[in-house]
Structure 1
Amino acid sequence: MVHKDNPTTLLLRGNKRLTMIVLGILSLVGLFLLTFSKQLWLNHCRTNGGLRTLNEAMSFSSSSLSYSSGSDDHGRARFIDLNGLEATGQASDNEEHVLILTPLKNAASYLPRYFELVNRMNYPKHLISLAFLVSDTTDDTVAILKEKAEQFLNPDDSPDGSSPAQERYHSISIFEKDFDFDLPEGRRHEFEMQPLRRSFMARSRNYLLSAALKEEHAWVLWLDVDVVEYPASILEDLQSVNVDVVVPNCLRETEDGSFWGYDKNNWMETQQSLDMQRDLDPEYVLLEGYYEFLTGRYLMVDMPTHLGKLDKVPLDGVGATFTLVKAQVHREGANFPPFAFQHQVETEGFAKMAKAMGFGVYGLPSYLIYHIMNS
């Protein structure tokens, strides 16, 4: 006997079949969206240097997290892999970022030439960050910095109405921190004032370094505001030497073009200087270029300057008129001691510390730059 389905049964079967078809379609759409969104996420992370896999997004390794208070990253962790951050001899080709650091005090008169020289550098502008720490200033240094920062970050439009990103600097930061240290300008280079003065300079450098160094920076350049002449290729030249710390030979600018040394903090220990230090109080700070206490060290300003421009010599002390440092050196802990470290403070103390940590410190006696003539 054949049983015929009644109309109600047929309707239920039809609805069930339709429901299964709809669920199947929704499942396919959901699978497609999940796959597509995952690929977009991975592409975004690869492009922006963030998480490379979804597994990394879920791991939250405590040693690799950083946080940002910006609106885009608020409440979210970022994974930053510093293993691939290198400073090489081909920095420009490898698009390595350079951070230029300059501490300032009453520097308004020097800033026009400072920015002119920086802007003249051949190194790609979009790979350069600038940061300043202004301390105990009574002139309009901050106002000039803000004006120059606006110009550098928003260059004049090109004829077609666009501003190419390659002509913009990566970032410019202006920090202000007073140390309430007031030393009359006429006494800033007196022998008796140097340990205290240089101690405060070390503090300002450390403040600036800790505030400005970011994860993208491969190199740090310490640049004095009153350096008045250096080649446009200087960054690439010094990077090509490919050492941890390197300094050119800084001379005085003179009206008659005569040869005068300026940065006497670039020096090499001698047997005489080492023997002398054995009997010194550990807290005694040695200073170069002062007749009150001669150290017997070999100053780079006294070395021959007719050899190869990039021929390097090992140094034990450096100044900071133009000092290029691989950022790794600072990241691993070499900074500017405001206290006596192996009889040195500030920049020379930094060189001693870097060498104690196993880093190489070098000078280029034949690579000449010029500082303004002052006392």
Structure 2
Amino acid sequence: MARIVSAGIPRIIHQTWRSRDFPVDKGDPKSWEALNPGWRYMFWSDEDLRRFMATEFPELLWMFDGYSRPVQRADLARYCLLKHYGGVYADIDTICMASLEPLFGDTRVVLCEEPLAQHTPARLRGMRSLWFNGTMASPPGHPFWDRVIDLCVRMYPRRDFDILETTGPLILSAAVEQWTDPQALSLNSSHLFAGMTVHGADSGDPRWGNHAETVLSIHCWQGSYYKNRSPSLYHRKLAQLRDLRHRLRWDARLSFKAASRQVEQAILTLPLRRSAEPSFVTVLIPARNAEPFLEENLGQLLQLDYPHDRINVLYGEGGSSDRTADLIAGIVTRHARDFASMGSVTLSRGAPQLRRGERWKPKLQRARRAGIAMARNDLIDHALRWRQSDWYLWLDADVIGLPRDLLQSLLAAEAKIVAPDCVLEADGPSFDLNSWLAVGRPNLVDRNRYRKYGLTMPPADVWWRRHLHDLRYLDRVPLNGVGGTALVVHSDVHRAGLRFPEIPYADLIETEAFGQLARNLGVTPIGLPNVQVRHHAS
């Protein structure tokens, strides 16, 4: 990225509030004017901001108007103000502590971290730091803000979800992580603009950055995103009783101790091996009643631009009531020369036969997914004996849209377990909700609310989970659960004995339990929110 040429940060201060009658207990807006007499002070009400957006950023007005919460409009507008005017933006609940002259003329965007004690949301998502968007400085026209605004646009479909990751600090933090020109940003510790924690104490963070000797402002956290969840005594006691009932009724569970005895840790944690030659990949396709999808699924494999002489394809079929077995036999006969090898195996174990309308009933999930885990385990056991391979790509037979560079993208993540986002349509919501990241620790009340029939089955928007469509502002995220519609697994993982749990592990089963167990054993699965495969919408 080219070095930015700019006149530098101008002597302008921006603050915003709903109206021109701002509450006196929010901060000290007058301190910004008092300590910076030579600076232009620009106050923006919500009405002013909308006029500004309509005039200077009309292409974003639909999004500005579409946000359901005022803070999201304020977030987007502050990025646009700094892009257009430059200067210093400061939340209304801030207090200026010194002259801003040290910032004047700087050609970089000047940012500071939030206090280190508040970095957990960023670190859970695989980022190094949480950057503070309550006070920022910038020259006008800096392209960094284009990146921030682009991420806001990308996350607009999730606008009614978490503010932090639709317009707030996590969006800013992702833009910093992805920015490739370190000379264009002046990054500093929290002391510069936000040296006080949400609890009102000095952060005590080590000082570093271009302005390590300077404290320019403090933030009072009057509009903090950080909330405490504290259920009542009654609900805590009720949750304890439900937890006891759960443990007594569903006693068939896989413990970490028992699971770890089945895994050879020395093999599981071997470092990834680099080779000048493309790795061998075996595509594993479990199939039952897949007649309508097999040809289209095969067509997607044939169009992959990965060297076909390094791809093996192995089908596992069992229990089909249609022509799936015959079609697979024909595919193997016709296309054996299109890949390094092709084959099929009959699976004797699998999920119970269910009508399509029954497949998602909660009371059937434990038996259904246990059967799917059995089929997967039998297929990988056969594959390990069948051909030597470096990687295994699990692919459902009804996945009918693959990027041509799918394998390159998955292997480039350099992780032993990698999941793309499985969708029904491009950039639509995630279809495979078994891929998720835990972003909080639910208390016993929350856990028991969604434990049913021996498994945790929360709704898609439960507060402590993020699915890949929630994380599209990031290119790479750690995961807890993984889905099996498309999943690449390094051979070391399966050779070490790690299989898909057939009984619940941590109240999860099959691929979800596989991901969580791998993570607990030291192999963190990785999700790629912006690499998408398409599932048939039947």
Distance in 2 separating the partners of 1:195 and 1:127: 37
Structure of greater relative contact order (alpha carbons < 8 Å, 6+ residues apart): 1
Alignment of 1:172 onto 2:340? no
Alignment of 1:192 onto 2:375? no
CA gap of 1:371–1:180, structure 2 versus 1, over 3 A, is closer
Bigger CA drift: 264-273 or 241-250? 264-273
Counterpart AA for 1:356: N
CA deviation after TM superposition for structure 1 residue 356, in Å: 1.8
User: Once superposed, which parts of structure 1, at least 4 consecutive aligned residues long, lie more than 6 Å away?
Assistant: 278-283
Equivalent positions of 1:196-211 (< 5 A) are 196-211=367-382
| Residue in 2 that maps onto 1:369 | 533
| Residue in 2 that maps onto 1:219 | 391
CA gap of 1:295–1:340, structure 2 versus 1, over 3 A, is farther
| Residue in 2 that maps onto 1:22 | none
| Aligned counterpart for 1:228 among listed residues 393, 397, 400 | 400
CA gap of 1:111–1:288, structure 2 versus 1, over 3 A, is farther
Distance in 2 separating the partners of 1:87 and 1:94: 14
| Aligned counterpart for 1:147 among listed residues 330, 344, 360 | 330
Bigger Cα Rg: 1
Structure 1: 5+ residue stretches without partners = 1-81, 155-166
Counterpart AA for 2:375: S
| Aligned counterpart for 2:439 among listed residues 270, 288, 294 | 270
Alignment of 1:112 onto 2:295? yes
Alignment of 1:250 onto 2:422? yes
* Contact kept? 2:432, 2:483, Cα under 8 Å: yes
Report the secondary structure of 2:442's partner residue.
helix
| Aligned counterpart for 2:428 among listed residues 254, 259, 284 | 259
Report Cα offsets for 1:32-88 as digits up to 9, x if no partner: xxxxxxxxxxxxxxxxxxxxxxxxxxxxxxxxxxxxxxxxxxxxxxxxxx9xx9855
| Residue in 2 that maps onto 1:331 | 495
Counterpart AA for 1:169: A
| Residue in 2 that maps onto 1:314 | 478
**Normalising to structure 1: TM-score of the pair?**
0.65
CA gap of 1:272–1:353, structure 2 versus 1, over 3 A, is closer
Report the secondary structure of 2:378's partner residue.
helix
Distance in 2 separating the partners of 1:221 and 1:315: 17
Counterpart AA for 1:209: I
Counterpart AA for 2:489: V
Report the secondary structure of 1:222's partner residue.
strand
CA gap of 1:168–1:196, structure 2 versus 1, over 3 A, is closer
Alignment of 1:237 onto 2:409? yes
Aligned length: 269
Alignment of 1:137 onto 2:320? yes
Distance in 2 separating the partners of 1:369 and 1:197: 24
Equivalent positions of 1:30-179 (< 5 A) are 88=273, 93-154=276-337, 167-179=338-350
* Contact kept? 1:286, 1:295, Cα under 8 Å: no
Counterpart AA for 1:287: M
* Contact kept? 1:312, 1:362, Cα under 8 Å: yes
Structure 2: 5+ residue stretches without partners = 1-266
Identity %: 26
**Normalising to structure 2: TM-score of the pair?**
0.46
CA gap of 1:298–1:280, structure 2 versus 1, over 3 A, is closer
| Aligned counterpart for 1:301 among listed residues 451, 454, 469 | 469
